[in-house]
Chain A
């Protein structure tokens, strides 16, 4: 079963290709965009920009630390640098540079990490970014975006260029379905989208796991459980209001992310729930482990991150909600 199939969503392209299309469009519109590449434009999908705008494209080579600080210098000159590479290599090699050269002064620089999560699959754990959201969470001035479908990716890329300040955007390698209409969707930084109405519980997802959440909702609907699904495309600033409303109105929450549970979206949602309206919660994501190499779908299955896993967690929170009410 492909992502979104159970929910009847229309398949689309790999997320990174969608990013590449959106980014080329952005570079055509905004001459202030410059690109810094860590010798991976073929795979991060900025190659088309290199071909069309060679003067605004800098391959810094296999030197991520250097690339990030050069980006800071370009931001100082009034350009909007998009610093791009595979997320794990970029963030783990250049974390100090992200922090010192960009985050502390809050420069207007953009970081795009491709190959987020475990679904890049067969290259295995050395290439996976299972910790990127936690790492970027450690840089307080960064806005963090994890779009879930082609339409929202286009809008996210535009929004991150318009937003003044540092932004991290996660893209991934796996093919994703259309969740929103192809011509438009709501996309405001910091405002979560409700992509399915429901009152029995809320599933909060980001990135590819929004499609998995909708699949889970379809499974649950057959059992008479109506799940609300939130697309938490912005992890910082997080939409605490939408989370509090979900807790209040549906009484139970499951989070789903393609990331370590430690320090990812779910733990931040839990903080918001705990501070506003505590309700039973379950968390879908990668428990403290590195994964095998393998087919993306085999990995999602082995590590408990499928629609069925989300549905099972949903059944548990709904049951727990009953217990709390009865107590």
Chain B
């Protein structure tokens, strides 16, 4: 019997969860003086839906439970968010969060597998996540296990050739328990995707590669949950949920300035940001 560990929460609870994750990311990166808050903010509702919206099956007290669903953070620079989520989910103590990016701490700048419970793969160099997830799919088949594998990608990350190698292969292997989610915030590091390296027609590309496509409002946890559930029902092909998001979501002056990519907020900026997040 597949086991669901998380209770259904009301959407209001999930919204609260998202808010506190944003605040944690803000505090972690501001204290560390570096990191990727804007890329993390963009994915908050997606991870909230996965970990707290009754989508991902996991046991934080048994991180290597063989039947667990896998969450592969391919856009590894959203590490602060992953750490915050894992601590909220009970994988490790909250105090760990404040050791982000410090020497002798396992809370590395980008996630390193085996350093902390709950990290399924090493990431940071972009483009690898679908492939690693497909390895888990093939391994699960050989082991006779029926878990699902969720992979979170950035949109700029989808410029990597390996993403499309993996897209071909996942369709070839009919990996219907593989669900990719694209944090489609329309920005990469140096500017808007449409200007730097246009990806549209994006959904059509995935369809052409043999994938089932869903589109969600990536900041509406309910929408993300609904589309993930539709993807779960698909058979014979992998699915991608294109989640429309805003980079820096929740903090107006970060949303308005893509050059915040890869920059922590200064303490006075963080104070303003905190107020905005609390009032949202």
Q: Which residues of A contact B (CB under 8 A)?
A: 34, 55-56, 58, 60-61, 63, 65-79, 81, 96-97, 99-101, 104-107
Closest Cβ of chain B to A311, distance in Å, is: 46
Chain A CB within 10 Å — which of B120, B131, B137, B168 has the most?
A: B131
Asked if residues B136 and A76 are in contact (CB atoms below 8 Å), the reply is: yes
Asked if residues A65 and B114 are in contact (CB atoms below 8 Å), the reply is: no
- B192 at interface (Cβ–Cβ under 8 A)? no
Across the interface, name the chain B residue whose C-beta is closest to A36. Answer: B135
Bound-state Cα–Cα, A41 to B137, Å: 23
Bound-state Cα–Cα, A254 to B114, Å: 42
Closest Cβ of chain B to A70, distance in Å, is: 4
Asked if residues A73 and B139 are in contact (CB atoms below 8 Å), the reply is: yes
**8 Å CB contact of A77 from B131, B140, B165:** B140
Across the interface, name the chain B residue whose C-beta is closest to A55. Answer: B142
Asked if residues A79 and B113 are in contact (CB atoms below 8 Å), the reply is: no
**Which chain B residues numbered 108 to 160 have a C-beta less than 8 Å away from chain A?**
112-114, 120-125, 127-128, 131-140, 142-143
Asked if residues B138 and A105 are in contact (CB atoms below 8 Å), the reply is: no
Bound-state Cα–Cα, A69 to B124, Å: 13
Bound-state Cα–Cα, A69 to B128, Å: 6
Closest Cβ of chain B to A64, distance in Å, is: 9
Across the interface, name the chain B residue whose C-beta is closest to A64. Answer: B165
**8 Å CB contact of B138 from A70, A104, A107:** A70
* Majority-rule SS of B interface residues: helix
Bound-state Cα–Cα, A60 to B138, Å: 12
Across the interface, name the chain B residue whose C-beta is closest to A68. Answer: B131
Closest Cβ of chain A to B13, distance in Å, is: 32
Number of A-B contacts (CB under 8 A): 105
Residues of A within 8 Å of B143, CB to CB, are 77-78
Closest Cβ of chain B to A119, distance in Å, is: 30
Chain A CB within 10 Å — which of B113, B120, B140 has the most?
A: B113
- B161 at interface (Cβ–Cβ under 8 A)? yes
Bound-state Cα–Cα, A205 to B142, Å: 41
Asked if residues A63 and B165 are in contact (CB atoms below 8 Å), the reply is: yes
Bound-state Cα–Cα, A69 to B165, Å: 11
Closest Cβ of chain A to B113, distance in Å, is: 4
Q: List 18 A-B contacts (CB under 8 A).
A: A63-B165, A65-B162, A66-B165, A69-B132, A71-B135, A73-B134, A73-B138, A74-B139, A76-B121, A76-B136, A77-B136, A77-B143, A78-B139, A81-B135, A101-B121, A101-B128, A101-B131, A106-B114
Asked if residues B169 and A76 are in contact (CB atoms below 8 Å), the reply is: no
- B166 at interface (Cβ–Cβ under 8 A)? yes
Asked if residues A74 and B138 are in contact (CB atoms below 8 Å), the reply is: yes
Known: A55-B142, A66-B131, A66-B134. 11 other contacts (CB 8 A): A65-B162, A66-B169, A70-B166, A72-B131, A72-B132, A75-B135, A76-B136, A77-B142, A96-B125, A100-B124, A101-B128
Bound-state Cα–Cα, A96 to B142, Å: 27
